[in-house]
Amino acid sequence: MKQCSLFALLIVLPLLSHSALPARLVDGSALPSLAPMLEEVNPAVVNIATYTTVQVRNPLLEDPFFRRFFDVRPRTRRTQSAGSGVVVDAARGYIVTNHHVVDRADEINVALADGRVLAATLVGRDPQVDLAVLKVDADALVEIRFADSGDLRQGDFVVAIGNPFGLNQTVTSGIVSALGRSGLGIEGFEDFIQTDAPINPGNSGGALVDLAGNLVGINTAIFAPSGGNVGIGFAIPSNMVRAVMEQIIEHGEVRRGYPGVDVQALSADLAEAFGVDRTEGVVVVEVDPEGPAERAGLRPGDVVVKVGDRQIRRKSDYDSSTAVLFAGDEVALEVLRDGRPKKLKLSIDDSNSDRVSGRRVHAKLKGVVLQNFHNESEPGTSAGVLITEVEEQSKAYVHGLRAGDVLVAANRQAVRNIVDLREAAGKSRGQLLLRVYRAGEFGYVVIR
């Protein structure tokens, strides 16, 4: 048995980075260990405890008679949940975690590896990619180093660090199972790293690191048909984390721009139809009038093969590239038009002034053109989303939406801009409930 173990080590050791896995001697044999790397990285991973006040349903409150004649007050209770986070800026006290870890929390506490428990404030969040940034006031924090997630390859070794089930500083290891996972219906923008490193409830917001201890992703979700870990976990790539984090720290929110274009994956049939000798990329299907894409010169039928420095092979490549395009950005595009290469420059508008196709916000708003609305002098509403156009054959028109309407809430969630509307509308289950301001009055429209 000992000879077999030594033989296996002779095979494994050359495959692992000796700088990342320093060997230690056991019975005269060199054994690799993650311990030295983890001693540096673990202090940067924190436990996050959130507390939320929720209203307890009381049937008496639903009876007008009791509400009128009896003093039946709403009852509330406090709920607690746990997750993980990663210190990304020790000097300023910034911590990155998942949005769903701190969503609706009215109190957030952070427990450090050294035993300290700190009150944290929410700096900002981005539900579209499920990220949030917290801030704590503390000295002697340890931050994590960012890796370039674009360098990851299928088969690379990774380590997940977090607090599953409230068990502090738990470490699991595995490999990168796949890259660019999308279409899972978890978030608005999906470009996940898939790993078989065990990720369980409570790991959300924790670190996925390479063997050198550099951050390659933020653990965010698991595929668990049986309710437990089955070796399929997902993490947000570090490049996306860094870009979103910097936006939140600088602005308190993500000022994402909208290119104003719809695309679909390039197929062999489409490639032949458009005279393209490749089957990787995305085809421009529709260009919003007067939008950034139209001003850049994009046309329906163009095949986008590169956005900035990123090659576009799949639609998920395009989606993840546009997820980190922010107001004021300029990005180079490479497209194929009639089989010939063409270079364009896309300038991203501030979404506050950009007109957006309703279909890009929610499928039930197809045929609607939206624009952010702000008017302090308007009685009853000062901000929302203005409907500038509605196609008469659209479902939105049939259900009652009209040009000039201002959307102020969706699915009972207040809406002050297109970003809010996208988030609230994304929670639809079978129907979209809209609160509309029209001609000085409020009303509701339900689109099924």
- Claim to verify: residue 126 and residue 160 sit in the same structural domain: yes
- Claim to verify: residue 43 and residue 178 sit in the same structural domain: yes
pLDDT at 120: 95
Report which of residues 168 and 102 the model is more confident about.
102
pLDDT at 176: 93
Kindly list the distances between the CA atom of residue 285 and the CA atoms of 51, 246, 261, 308, 338, in Å, as whole numbers in the listed order: 45, 32, 7, 20, 15
pLDDT at 316: 76
Give the range with max mean pLDDT: 48-62, 109-123, 167-181: 109-123
Q: Answer whether 318's CB lies under 8 Å from 306's CB.
A: no
Mean pLDDT of 381-392: 83
Active site residue 130: yes
- Claim to verify: residue 300 and residue 427 sit in the same structural domain: no
In a domain, 8, yes or no: no
Q: Answer whether 243's CB lies under 8 Å from 150's CB.
A: no
Q: Answer whether 422's CB lies under 8 Å from 357's CB.
A: no
CATH label of the domain that carries residue 111 = 2.40.10.120
Asked if pLDDT for residue 353 goes beyond 50, the answer is no
- Claim to verify: residue 338 and residue 422 sit in the same structural domain: no
- Claim to verify: residue 368 and residue 283 sit in the same structural domain: no
- Give residue for tokens 């270079």: 343
pLDDT at 61: 58
Domain enclosing residue 388, as ranges: 358-447
Report which of residues 188 and 433 the model is more confident about.
433
pLDDT at 146: 96
In a domain, 26, yes or no: no
Asked if pLDDT for residue 195 goes beyond 60, the answer is yes
- Claim to verify: residue 207 and residue 133 sit in the same structural domain: yes
Mean pLDDT of the chain: 81
Give the range with max mean pLDDT: 18-27, 233-242, 361-370: 233-242
In a domain, 18, yes or no: no
Report which of residues 316 and 410 the model is more confident about.
410
Q: Which of 208-217, 228-237, 331-340 is predicted least confidently?
A: 228-237
Query: Which of the four pLDDT bands, split at 50, 70 and 90, describes residue 135?
Result: very high
Catalytic residue among 81, 99, 130, 405: 130
pLDDT at 274: 82
- Claim to verify: residue 442 and residue 342 sit in the same structural domain: no
pLDDT at 360: 74
DSSP character for 168?
A: S
Distance CA 132, CA 110 (A): 14
Q: Which residues contact 29 (CB under 8 A, 6 or more apart)?
A: 6, 9
- Claim to verify: residue 179 and residue 325 sit in the same structural domain: no
Asked if pLDDT for residue 379 goes beyond 60, the answer is no
Q: In this prediction, what percent of the chain has a pLDDT beyond 90?
A: 36
Mean pLDDT of 364-380: 74
Mean pLDDT of 258-266: 83
Mean pLDDT of 386-403: 90
Give the range with max mean pLDDT: 133-147, 271-285, 316-330: 133-147
Predicted confidence (pLDDT) per residue in 263-309, tens digit? 888 888 888 888 888 888 899 988 877 778 888 999 999 999 999 88
- Claim to verify: residue 332 and residue 381 sit in the same structural domain: no
CATH label of the domain that carries residue 438 = 2.30.42.10
> Which of 135, 69, 147, 68 has the alpha carbon at shortest distance from 108?
135
Instruction: Quote the number of domains for the chain.
Output: 3
Report which of residues 235 and 416 the model is more confident about.
235
Q: Which of 161-170, 191-200, 208-217, 283-292 is predicted least confidently?
A: 161-170
In a domain, 394, yes or no: yes
User: What DSSP string runs through 129-161?
Assistant: TTEEEEE---SS---PPBP-GGG--TT-EEEEE
Query: Which of the four pLDDT bands, split at 50, 70 and 90, describes residue 344?
Result: very high
Catalytic residue among 149, 177, 204, 351: 204
pLDDT at 103: 86
Mean pLDDT of 74-89: 83
Active site residue 100: yes
In a domain, 367, yes or no: yes
- Claim to verify: residue 391 and residue 440 sit in the same structural domain: yes
Decide which of 323, 347, 371 is a domain's last residue.
347
> Which of 333, 320, 329, 372 has the alpha carbon at shortest distance from 348?
329
Asked if pLDDT for residue 9 goes beyond 50, the answer is no
In a domain, 2, yes or no: no
Decide which of 313, 347, 381 is a domain's last residue.
347
- Claim to verify: residue 48 and residue 126 sit in the same structural domain: yes
Mean pLDDT of 203-216: 93
Decide which of 203, 235, 254 is a domain's last residue.
254
pLDDT at 16: 46
Predicted confidence (pLDDT) per residue in 20-75, tens digit? 565 555 566 667 888 889 999 999 999 999 988 876 666 655 556 555 555 556 66
Predicted confidence (pLDDT) per residue in 414-427, tens digit? 888 887 788 788 77
Q: In this prediction, what percent of the chain has a pLDDT beyond 70?
A: 80
In a domain, 24, yes or no: no
In a domain, 335, yes or no: yes
Q: Which residues contact 39 (CB under 8 A, 6 or more apart)?
A: none
- Claim to verify: residue 249 and residue 293 sit in the same structural domain: no
Active site residue 71: no
Catalytic residue among 81, 100, 196, 321: 100
Of the chain, the end-to-end C-alpha distance in Å amounts to 66
pLDDT at 203: 83
Q: Which residues of 272-304 are buried (b: 16+ CB within 10 A; e: fewer)?
A: eebebeeeebbbbeebbeebbbeebbbeebbbb
